[in-house]
Structure 1
Amino acid sequence: MANPKPVVPTRIPCEQCPLRQRPGFRDFTREELAFVSSFKIGELLADPGMSIMVEGESNPQLYTVLSGWGFRYKILEDGRRQILNYVLPGDLVGLQGNIMVEMQHSVEALTKMTLCMFERDRLPTLFQNHPSLAYDITWLAAREESMLDEHILSIGRRTARERAAYLLAFLDARAKATGAAPADKPAPLPLTQQHVADTLGLSLVHTNKTLRKLVDQGLVRWLDRGCEVRNREGLYQVAEWRPPAEGRRPFI
């Protein structure tokens, strides 16, 4: 059962949205801003561990992450969890539930989060009257597909050490690109080793041993709750991966 969702009226108007000031995001035109401002109906506040969306449920809202980290996941009947991807500022949450009638995965807050809430019923108006915003939603969906392709490649073909290096490099790059972490200095990635294990499809013991190898190489440093990347280039080399060049990305 989903936790009660603390919804509050809009506290941060779209005109004052901090994401608009970040260099990684494209800004709205005047017409787009007016529509998005009317589209937004409130904000959802989430504490760590709170369910934002639950697999099998329908949800009348869409969300854009304004601040904080979350993750998408699925659970088998015996309780085993697979983390599919992580959501950061600017990411759209709940589009699948709008297209598929009900959610095919769950979303949980990893840290304290604030999410902008939009009415699902007005989504057709966006597609009909604002083709540039419709393109942005298509871009976000395509980017999510691209990330999942890379994750499947990682689980299917990379070694455990390469998987771990890829995941930490990927999250570090996303945090920098979205402004969730400062670009000029190391910042902790707010996940536990259990989160890493559930993302990589490894046991916790295997994950601990694998991460220890990256720590011993000086590539990362493990903290009480999170991981700090110490050698970004070293992680890229181990993972045989580099962040794609994207330019300024859209958000709703």
Structure 2
Amino acid sequence: MDQGAAVSLQPKWRTPCQLCPLRALPAFRDFSPKELEFVAQFKSGELTVERGATILVEGMHSAHLFTVLSGWTFRYKLLTDGRRQIMNYGLPGDLIGLQGSLMGEMDHSVEALTPVTLCVFERAKLDRLFERHASLAYDLTWIAAHEERILDEHLLSLGRRTALERTAYLVSFLHQRAHASGLNGGRRTIPITQQHVADTLGLSLVHTNKTLRKLADRKLLRWQERGCEILDADALQALAGWEGLQRGPRPFI
């Protein structure tokens, strides 16, 4: 699959909603029987995406929206000269493509950071969710508001934290997200490169490398070929001056 091209949509069924592995995680609220029945009808299949493939492209109109079932994604915008700004990361339970469903077209792109499995939903059926299930409609509103809250914290980090603090925040944020989403399986490795860190924090690659070395010298993390191993999660969060993720079960579709 060409890394620069959007994935071709050929969804297949693999995981019935009743057996969804995310339902067993304490980070997510469970569905009522009626909600579960509706979501199972709403879902049209699953899509497996290779690492590096573009899932959604800025400016495109998509007939589908997706929930990440497994793996990591990230969403980004490009300047005309090719410079990239990573806006946020998508992990299991996260909804992607909602903006394109409601606003007509995407104003950002989404790429697979690792091999990814996506639950596929048809945009045409979204009206039924709002008409028939107020609780699920509220969940969509909660998801959108939660994303805004995360972006507020990211903006604060970019605007006011030092390079060392914002790097500690990003690594701590991704580590906690991975743990809540059941991705790390006891491991403490985040599958990002230094280029991803630089493109998220608005730093040069050289500045990013120096900053990561400082964190490594403090024995807070260890950089590996394709990822970052967390050595002291509590110290990273304290250095960032961040309160951590909101606790309690969150909704997903």
State the distance in 2 between where 1:109 and 1:228 align. Answer: 20
State the distance in 2 between where 1:7 and 1:218 align. Answer: 45
Q: How far 1:236 sits from its partner (Å)?
A: 1.3
Q: Which residue of 2 is the match for residue 118 of structure 1?
A: 121
What is the RMSD of the two structures over their aligned residues, measured on CA atoms? 1.1
Identity, in percent, stands at 60
Q: How far 1:249 sits from its partner (Å)?
A: 0.8
Q: How far 1:187 sits from its partner (Å)?
A: 2.1
Q: How does 1:136-215 map to 2 (within 5 A)?
A: 136-182=139-185, 185-215=186-216
Q: How far 1:119 sits from its partner (Å)?
A: 0.6
State the distance in 1 between where 2:115 and 2:187 align. Answer: 20
Q: How far 1:100 sits from its partner (Å)?
A: 1.3
Q: How far 1:8 sits from its partner (Å)?
A: 3.1
State the distance in 2 between where 1:234 and 1:243 align. Answer: 12
State the distance in 1 between where 2:156 and 2:246 align. Answer: 19
The residue type equivalent to 1:149 in the other structure is D
The residue type equivalent to 1:59 in the other structure is S
Q: Given that residues 5 and 46 in structure 1 are in contact (C-alpha distance below 8 angstroms), is that contact kept between their aligned partners in structure 2?
A: no
Q: How far 1:245 sits from its partner (Å)?
A: 2.9
Q: Given that residues 188 and 231 in structure 2 are in contact (C-alpha distance below 8 angstroms), is that contact kept between their aligned partners in structure 1?
A: no
| Cα deviations by residue, 1:17-75 (Å, 9 ceiling, x for unpaired) | 11111111111111001100000111111111100000000000010000000000000
Q: Which residue of 1 is the match for residue 227 of structure 2?
A: 226
Q: How far 1:192 sits from its partner (Å)?
A: 0.2
User: 2:140 aligns to what SS in structure 1?
Assistant: helix
User: 2:192 aligns to what SS in structure 1?
Assistant: coil
Matched, 1:72 2:72: no
State the distance in 2 between where 1:93 and 1:115 align. Answer: 9
| Cα deviations by residue, 1:106-149 (Å, 9 ceiling, x for unpaired) | 00000000000001011111011101101111111111000000
Q: How many residues align?
A: 250
Q: How far 1:6 sits from its partner (Å)?
A: 5.1
Deviating above 6 A after TM superposition, structure 1's stretches of 4 or more consecutive aligned residues are: none
Q: How has the CA–CA distance of structure 1 residues 237 and 133 changed in structure 2, closer, same or farther, with 3 Å as cutoff?
A: same
Q: How does 1:87-106 map to 2 (within 5 A)?
A: 87-106=90-109
State the distance in 1 between where 2:198 and 2:182 align. Answer: 25
The residue type equivalent to 1:159 in the other structure is T
The residue type equivalent to 1:224 in the other structure is E
State the distance in 2 between where 1:244 and 1:27 align. Answer: 19
Q: Given that residues 176 and 245 in structure 2 are in contact (C-alpha distance below 8 angstroms), is that contact kept between their aligned partners in structure 1?
A: no
State the distance in 2 between where 1:135 and 1:156 align. Answer: 31
State the distance in 2 between where 1:60 and 1:212 align. Answer: 44
State the distance in 1 between where 2:46 and 2:198 align. Answer: 31
Q: Given that residues 114 and 191 in structure 2 are in contact (C-alpha distance below 8 angstroms), is that contact kept between their aligned partners in structure 1?
A: yes
Q: What TM-score comes out, normalization by structure 1 length?
A: 0.97
Q: Given that residues 6 and 57 in structure 2 are in contact (C-alpha distance below 8 angstroms), is that contact kept between their aligned partners in structure 1?
A: no
State the distance in 1 between where 2:99 and 2:227 align. Answer: 29
Q: Given that residues 6 and 56 in structure 2 are in contact (C-alpha distance below 8 angstroms), is that contact kept between their aligned partners in structure 1?
A: no
When structure 1 is superposed on structure 2, of 200-209 and 236-245 the one drifting more is: 236-245
State the distance in 1 between where 2:139 and 2:174 align. Answer: 22
State the distance in 2 between where 1:40 and 1:149 align. Answer: 31
Q: What TM-score comes out, normalization by structure 2 length?
A: 0.96
State the distance in 2 between where 1:190 and 1:6 align. Answer: 25
Matched, 1:34 2:37: yes
